[in-house]
C-alpha cells in the first residue's frame, strides 16, 4: 500500500488488521488500542485537491445557533482568561456566537475559502494545522473541535498541540462520527461518514479517551447522540423505500429530510422529550451517530 502507515496513529502499535469490507477507504484496526483509521496516508496534493472549495455549502440555521448558545452556557465555569479557540471553525458561525457572549474568539481552518469567509466577517482565524507555538502555552480557557478530529493525518501531533493550547483546568470539547454507531453497523461501507481522504480516523468512546489520556486530558463527559432518518431510509430495501415515498416520508434528499425531522423535534414538546429519551438510550448503548466528549486538561 503506497504511503502506508507502519503503526497506529495514536498508540504506535504495529499490529494493524485490514478491514476488507471498508477497503475503498483503506481502513485498518489497531490490535493494541482498537482505533480504526485509514492505513494509507493521503499526500498534500490529494488533500489540496479534495478540499478545494470545501465547505462552500456550509449550512447555518437558527437550530444550530441555539445549540451553540447552549454549549457556550455550559462553558461559563471555565471562563478565566476569556479566550476560546475553535479548531476547524468552518465559516465561523460558532465564533460569532462566542463573540456575542464577550469571548475573545479565535479560529483555525484549512483552505483559503473558509479563511476568506471568516475574515470577511471580522473574525480572527488562522490557517490550520496550527503550529505548536502558534499561541503561548495555556492561552485558552476552552478549545472546541466540531467534526474535525476524523480528518487529521497526525492525531498524536494534534493532541500535543492541544495540550499546549489549553490552560491547566481548561476544557477541550469535541464532536466526531462514532464508529460504534448503530447506523454504521447497519449500513457498513455505505455509512455516510466513511470516505477517503476526507475522513481518516474513526473514533469510538474508548479510543477517543485513550488518544488524549496520555497528553494530560481527563474525560469528564461523553455522549453518543443522533440518528439520520434520511440516510437509513435511503438504504432501505426498494419495497420499503416505495412505501415510505408513498407516505411522503422519503420524498426528499438525506439532508432535507433530516432537517425537516430536526425542525419538527424543535417545535413540539412531545418530540423534544422523545428525542432526549432516544439520545439517552443511544448514549447508554454507545450507538449514536455523533460522539460528543469533554476533557479537562490536568497537565
Instruction: Let me know whether 69 and 200 are in one domain.
Output: yes
Is residue 7 one of the residues assigned to a domain?
Answer: no
CA distance 19 to 27: 6
Range of the domain at 256: 229-279
pLDDT at 255: 58
State how far Cα 35 lies from the chain centre. Answer: 16
Instruction: Let me know whether 234 and 220 are in one domain.
Output: no
Per-residue pLDDT of the chain in tens (299 residues, 90 and over written 9)? 467 899 999 999 999 999 999 999 999 999 999 999 999 999 989 988 888 767 655 778 898 999 999 999 999 999 999 999 999 998 899 999 999 999 999 999 987 777 888 888 889 999 988 988 899 999 999 999 999 999 999 999 999 999 999 999 999 999 999 999 999 999 999 999 999 999 999 999 999 999 999 999 999 999 999 988 878 777 655 433 344 444 444 444 555 766 676 766 666 777 788 889 999 999 999 999 999 999 999 98
pLDDT at 59: 75
**In sequence order, what are the residues at sequence separation of 6 or more whose Cβ sits closer than 8 angstroms to the Cβ of residue 226?**
279, 282, 288, 289, 290
Instruction: Let me know whether 68 and 177 are in one domain.
Output: yes
CATH number of the domain encompassing residue 208: 3.40.50.150
Summarised one tens digit per residue, pLDDT across range 111-138 is: 777 788 888 888 999 998 898 889 999 9
Instruction: Let me know whether 105 and 190 are in one domain.
Output: yes
Q: Report in angstroms the alpha-carbon separations of 231 from 51, 227, 248, 296.
A: 23, 9, 15, 34
Instruction: Let me know whether 63 and 184 are in one domain.
Output: yes
C-alpha cell at 105: 474568539
Kindly calculate the radius of gyration of the chain based on its CA atoms and give it in whole angstroms. 19
DSSP per residue, 125-168: EEESSPPTTSS-TT-EEEEEEES-GGG-S-HHHHHHHHHHHEEE
Tell me the three state secondary structure of residue 177. Answer: strand
Is residue 291 one of the residues assigned to a domain?
Answer: yes
Q: What is the pTM of this model?
A: 0.90
The 10 Å Cβ neighbour count of residue 176 is 24
Q: Report in angstroms the alpha-carbon separations of 201 from 29, 38, 204, 220, 232.
A: 10, 6, 10, 22, 22
Tell me the three state secondary structure of residue 284. Answer: helix
Summarised one tens digit per residue, pLDDT across range 182-195 is: 999 999 999 999 99
pLDDT at 47: 87
Amino acid at each position: 500500500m503506497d504511503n502506508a502507515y507502519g503503526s497506529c496513529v495514536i498508540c504506535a502499535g504495529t499490529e494493524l488488521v485490514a478491514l476488507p469490507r471498508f477497503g475503498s477507504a483503506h481502513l485498518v484496526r489497531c490490535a493494541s488500542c482498537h482505533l480504526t483509521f485509514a492505513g494509507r496516508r493521503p499526500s498534500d496534493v490529494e488533500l489540496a485537491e479534495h478540499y478545494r472549495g470545501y465547505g462552500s455549502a456550509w449550512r447555518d440555521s437558527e437550530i444550530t445557533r441555539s445549540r451553540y448558545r447552549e454549549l457556550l452556557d455550559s462553558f461559563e465555569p471555565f471562563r478565566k482568561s476569556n479566550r476560546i479557540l475553535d479548531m476547524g471553525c468552518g465559516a465561523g458561525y460558532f465564533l460569532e456566537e462566542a463573540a456575542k457572549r464577550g469571548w475573545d474568539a479565535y479560529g483555525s481552518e484549512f483552505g483559503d475559502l473558509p479563511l476568506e469567509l471568516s475574515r470577511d466577517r471580522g473574525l480572527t482565524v488562522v490557517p490550520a494545522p496550527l503550529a505548536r507555538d502558534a499561541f503561548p502555552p495555556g492561552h485558552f480557557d476552552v478549545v472546541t473541535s466540531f467534526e474535525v478530529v476524523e480528518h487529521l493525518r497526525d492525531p498524536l501531533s494534534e493532541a500535543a498541540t492541544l495540550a499546549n493550547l489549553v490552560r491547566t483546568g481548561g476544557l477541550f470539547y469535541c464532536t466526531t462520527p462514532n464508529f460504534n454507531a448503530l447506523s454504521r453497523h447497519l449500513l457498513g461501507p455505505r455509512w455516510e461518514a466513511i470516505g477517503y481522504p476526507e475522513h481518516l480516523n474513526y473514533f469510538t468512546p474508548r479510543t477517543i479517551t485513550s488518544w488524549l489520556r496520555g497528553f494530560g486530558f481527563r474525560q469528564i463527559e461523553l455522549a453518543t447522540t443522533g440518528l439520520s432518518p434520511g440516510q437509513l431510509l435511503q438504504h432501505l430495501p426498494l419495497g420499503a423505500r416505495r412505501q415510505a415515498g408513498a407516505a411522503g416520508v422519503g420524498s426528499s434528499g438525506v439532508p432535507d429530510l433530516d432537517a425537516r425531522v430536526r425542525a419538527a423535534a424543535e417545535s413540539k414538546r412531545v418530540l423534544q422529550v422523545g428525542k432526549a429519551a432516544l439520545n439517552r438510550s443511544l448514549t447508554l448503548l454507545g450507538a449514536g451517530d455523533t460522539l460528543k466528549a469533554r476533557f479537562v486538561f490536568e497537565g
